[in-house]
Amino acid sequence: MRGKPSWWDILVDDLKVAQDFYGAVFGWTFPMSGPDFVVVFDGTEQVGQLYESSERVGRGIRMYFDTDDLEGVLAKAANAGGTVKTERTLISPEMGWYGEFVDPSGVTIGLHTDVPAE
């Protein structure tokens, strides 16, 4: 298990407002988008995304941690009193997979891996 931060989402109410704000503050650009997200480019690499969400629980910055055993970490989280929110899900062939769990206090934590499922 690697466990270092590898990606983040900032949950926002309005993507356009957020792009204008963070572009002005940090100089970020947004080279890729979908219906409810834009990928953040910091000038050297893709580092996270702005994600439009009406969620209020767990609002803020959602961190994703690297792992080489996605299913194993999800199982450990469930066994320790958390709940699995998202099983292994393909992001893209180039970016790998993610999963999510919710800790006992309601915080959503993301996991990322480039290791295929066995």
Tokens of 114: 């480039």
pTM, 2 dp? 0.73
Q: How many CB atoms lie within 10 A of CB 100?
A: 19
Distance of CA 1 to the CA centre of its chain: 17
Which tens digit of pLDDT belongs to each residue from 97-107? 999 998 876 87
Per-residue pLDDT tens digits for 39-52: 999 888 888 999 88
Asked if residues 72 and 118 have their Cβ atoms less than 8 Å apart, the reply is no
CATH domain 5-113 topology: 2,3-Dihydroxybiphenyl 1,2-Dioxygenase; domain 1 (3.10.180)
Residue 24's pLDDT is: 87
Domain boundaries, the chain: 5-113
Beta bridge partners of 38: 33, 50
